[in-house]
Structure 1
Amino acid sequence: MGMTMTQKILAAHAGKDAVRPGQLIQAKLDLVLGNDITTPVAINEFESAGFEKVFDSKRIALVMDHFTPNKDIKAATQCKQCRTFAKRFDIDHFYDTGAVGIEHALLPEQGLVAPGEAVIGADSHTCTYGALGAFSTGVGSTDMGAAMAAGETWFKVPSAIQVHLTGKLRPYVSGKDVILTLIGMIGVDGARYQSLEFTGSGVGELSIYDRLTICNMAIEAGAKNGIFPVDDVTRAYVEGRVDRPWTAFAADADAEYERTVEIDLGAVDCTVAYPHLPENARSARSGADVAIDQVVIGSCTNGQLADMAAAAAILKGRHLAPGVRGIIIPATQEIYRSCMHEGYTDIFLDAGCVVSTPTCGPCLGGHMGCLAAGERCVSTTNRNFVGRMGHVESEVYLASPAVAAASGVAGHLCHPEEVMNK
């Protein structure tokens, strides 16, 4: 029996000709990632184990993105610990205020992830990099600490679900709508410890940013990872970014999948995940009675320049409804600068929004947009659990940048056509 794309990458990194679902392997790593929340714990474990050196200072990335610029003394202390560690071991890829970006947008942008590589990160949304044809997954801080020293870690080889895509996206529909639709179909545990492997003619209709968004939220279906085949879209993105050889892996024709999920992209409409789970997927057209207090457009899920462009197209010449707060967060410094050059920043400010430095802050209810009791937010982030963005009695509605921007203008949850056709 043949192997899936994920299984092939894992076999190569384990030095084996083949692996099978359920098999325990030890695999070498191309990159180990941590952020300002998870890295301090990993450093503590690293030091308590008595490690004296890292496996490769060029293959560790530490990104200070969650609570920076430092929101309080605890955040400042955590970042100081990371800075000290990075300086001690000459970590090449240390990103702090002024050079930082939201980690899962920053690493692909900087060419730190390439097709065929194996990446772990002490952040659950590390699965984002499957969009580039890499195996990437989130781990705990203890595993990160050990991996920084050893350069390898263990995995149980996952089985796979094939997501077969056909058709083309309709206007205003994006990768966010596709992944919310998929999670609505299979549930938040529908792919538990499995690989979501995307195939079919529809793959070529998705931009690299659609793919990054889709893989980012693979974990919201319980998946170990999400992964797309390497094609011309992938190659165009990594060209000029990745400066090292890489290998494109492809699933065998007789690869074994637990099941196949069929999605016609042409049938996907703008979709919203209602509180309090990403699987509560409904049409954006059914939200007229859902008045909102805030919109957040950004995060590792939807903070790319394409996302900023989608929001700007809706907000241009329009203003947020009275009482609605708008928070725009470009995911990296480069995207922030591009927003200024493209005129998006002026559009956002004219619409009554604030534009923030790159940060994860509001996504996890940390800072820069926490919600009070009874407040509702339409957010382009990835989770809407109870209390995720603030008070336990607040509500988060997950949506695309186009839906979030349109909802901000309308003052209630709505489809972009409702705003654009006026």
Structure 2
Amino acid sequence: MIERGYVAPGSFVVASDSHSNMYGALGALGTPIVRTDAAAVWATGEFWWQVPRTIQVVFEGKLSEGVSGKDVIITLCGLYNHDEALNAAVEFSGPGVASLPMDARLSISNMSTEWGPIVGWFPVDEVTIRYLRRTRDRLLEQGIERFTEADLEGWSTNPPQPDPGAEYSARIELDLSQVTPHVSGPDTVQTMQSVTEIEKKRVAIHKAYLVSCVNSRIDDLEAAAWVLCGKKVAPGVKLYVGAASAWTQQEAEERGVWQALLVAGAIPLPPSCGPCIGLGTGLLEKGEVGISATNRNFKGRMGSREAQCYLASPEVVAASAIAGYITGPRQFQDREPARHYEEFATNGRTAERVEILPGFPERVEGRIV
């Protein structure tokens, strides 16, 4: 959707993929729908969506070298793990946004789904326009034009933005300079540990993964390749790598990135969801521990329910595959970002009342996954 130019700033994009929040990185309102809803959209050309509350996430400062967008969203999931952002639209803002490259924004928006929001929106700025221009140039080489130079100019001079005096249900503040590499898990994104902390425990791993839509883009693969350069995957560890798309793998091959991963001992998989959704080769087996650059790690997601899975950035995954236990590519000072969450009054507004159709229960309880 993104690399083929179907997502544009200010557009409303729905898809039957739970990580459609990812489209928010380009200033679009991206949100997931179930497959039956998708069928209804195709059949009727219409879509009904209840507007959620909005939470403003203000980024201050900038990330330190070696810290990624994946570390930012892992930190948000771990710091605010009591449903603060559940079913909300999250708007990322603040001076720190400008320092985030597009790859970081895509990772944050994509994995915001695991945090609880149904929208993870970034403002449109120079970073967005540069990315869209490169996308347009690549598509033009294929004889495809999804948007014009005039569109780019329009998004640049008149970007979609919040209304003056926009109201928010809550505000979260995060100093990016205080974020360090972290891991989620095991088996939940609500628990996080700094890499500095967990590497002291020498948590042994059996499998490592560089796959899926959240962290197998060219920048991710290249970052992992630099960590692996001149080294080999540890004995007893299997490192699986699958590009986010065929185009991504082609570019990785042209740059020599793909070959560097394979020389280090990575096992190639075709571009697809693969192990991230528990399909194909390399699934976690009973008693095994895995570390993955994917976006979900609940029990049974990537194989046996009697396995454990941690989530981390591509660099941490690569470093762990070399060491045989969870670790990072370099040493970081252990620091925890401060939690800052403030709720606001609704000014007397109440939630929209929705009529429950006959035959449908008002409330459903029980385990979901």
TM-score by length of 2: 0.82
For structure 1, which runs of at least 5 residues remain unmatched after alignment? 1-106
1:386 aligns with 2:290: no
Q: What residue number does 2:174 align with?
A: 263
Q: What residue number does 2:310 align with?
A: 397
Following superposition of structure 1 onto structure 2, how do residues 110-149 of structure 1 map, counting pairs within 5 Å? 110-149=4-43
Q: What residue number does 1:225 align with?
A: 119
Following superposition of structure 1 onto structure 2, how do residues 338-417 of structure 1 map, counting pairs within 5 Å? 338-417=251-330
Q: Structure 1 stretch 225-234 or stretch 181-190: which is displaced more?
A: 181-190
Q: What residue number does 1:243 align with?
A: 147
Evaluate the alpha carbon distance shift between residue 418 and residue 328 of structure 1 in structure 2; reply closer, same or farther with a 3 A threshold: farther
1:181 aligns with 2:75: yes
Partner Cα distance (2:44, 2:106) in 1: 28
Following superposition of structure 1 onto structure 2, how do residues 193-204 of structure 1 map, counting pairs within 5 Å? 193-204=87-98
Q: Which secondary structure state, in structure 1, belongs to the residue aligned with residue 78 of structure 2?
A: helix
Tell me, yes or no, if the aligned pair for 1:136 and 1:225 is still in contact at 8 Å. Answer: yes
Tell me, yes or no, if the aligned pair for 2:212 and 2:276 is still in contact at 8 Å. Answer: yes
Partner Cα distance (2:292, 2:276) in 1: 8
Partner Cα distance (1:385, 1:249) in 2: 35
Shift of residue 368, structure 1, vs aligned partner? 2.4
Partner Cα distance (2:172, 2:12) in 1: 25
User: What CA deviation, in whole Å up to 9, does each residue of 1:12-57 have, x standing for no partner?
Assistant: xxxxxxxxxxxxxxxxxxxxxxxxxxxxxxxxxxxxxxxxxxxxxx
Tell me, yes or no, if the aligned pair for 1:321 and 1:411 is still in contact at 8 Å. Answer: yes
The partner residue of 1:274 within 177, 185, 204 is 185
Amino acid in structure 1 at the alignment position of 2:167: E
The partner residue of 1:190 within 43, 61, 84 is 84
Tell me, yes or no, if the aligned pair for 2:284 and 2:302 is still in contact at 8 Å. Answer: yes
Partner Cα distance (2:12, 2:277) in 1: 26
Q: Which secondary structure state, in structure 1, belongs to the residue aligned with residue 224 of structure 2?
A: helix
Tell me, yes or no, if the aligned pair for 1:158 and 1:194 is still in contact at 8 Å. Answer: yes
User: What CA deviation, in whole Å up to 9, does each residue of 1:342-378 have, x standing for no partner?
Assistant: 1112211111111222010100111122111011111
Shift of residue 170, structure 1, vs aligned partner? 1.1
Evaluate the alpha carbon distance shift between residue 125 and residue 188 of structure 1 in structure 2; reply closer, same or farther with a 3 A threshold: farther
Shift of residue 151, structure 1, vs aligned partner? 2.1
Q: Which secondary structure state, in structure 2, belongs to the residue aligned with residue 256 of structure 1?
A: coil
Q: What residue number does 1:299 align with?
A: 212
The partner residue of 1:209 within 103, 110, 126 is 103
Q: Which secondary structure state, in structure 2, belongs to the residue aligned with residue 334 of structure 1?
A: helix
Q: Structure 1 stretch 306-315 or stretch 339-348: which is displaced more?
A: 339-348
Q: What residue number does 1:316 align with?
A: 229
Amino acid in structure 2 at the alignment position of 1:306: D
Partner Cα distance (1:236, 1:317) in 2: 33
Amino acid in structure 1 at the alignment position of 2:9: P
Tell me, yes or no, if the aligned pair for 1:276 and 1:385 is still in contact at 8 Å. Answer: yes
Q: Which secondary structure state, in structure 2, belongs to the residue aligned with residue 161 of structure 1?
A: strand
Partner Cα distance (1:357, 1:140) in 2: 25
Q: What residue number does 2:351 align with?
A: none
Partner Cα distance (1:209, 1:188) in 2: 27
Amino acid in structure 2 at the alignment position of 1:170: S
TM-score by length of 1: 0.72
Following superposition of structure 1 onto structure 2, how do residues 51-70 of structure 1 map, counting pairs within 5 Å? none
Partner Cα distance (2:198, 2:323) in 1: 11
Partner Cα distance (1:219, 1:383) in 2: 9
Query: Cα RMSD over matched residues?
Result: 1.5
Q: Which secondary structure state, in structure 1, belongs to the residue aligned with residue 47 of structure 2?
A: strand
Evaluate the alpha carbon distance shift between residue 400 and residue 223 of structure 1 in structure 2; reply closer, same or farther with a 3 A threshold: same
Tell me, yes or no, if the aligned pair for 1:287 and 1:412 is still in contact at 8 Å. Answer: no
Tell me, yes or no, if the aligned pair for 2:211 and 2:274 is still in contact at 8 Å. Answer: no
Number of equivalences: 313
Amino acid in structure 2 at the alignment position of 1:119: V
For structure 2, which runs of at least 5 residues remain unmatched after alignment? 137-145, 333-369
Shift of residue 286, structure 1, vs aligned partner? 2.1
Amino acid in structure 2 at the alignment position of 1:294: K
Q: Which secondary structure state, in structure 1, belongs to the residue aligned with residue 49 of structure 2?
A: strand
Q: What residue number does 2:345 align with?
A: none
Following superposition of structure 1 onto structure 2, how do residues 4-153 of structure 1 map, counting pairs within 5 Å? 107-153=1-47
Shift of residue 123, structure 1, vs aligned partner? 1.2
Q: What residue number does 1:168 align with?
A: 62
Amino acid in structure 2 at the alignment position of 1:243: F
Partner Cα distance (2:84, 2:283) in 1: 30
Amino acid in structure 1 at the alignment position of 2:57: V
Q: What residue number does 2:349 align with?
A: none
Shift of residue 418, structure 1, vs aligned partner? 5.3
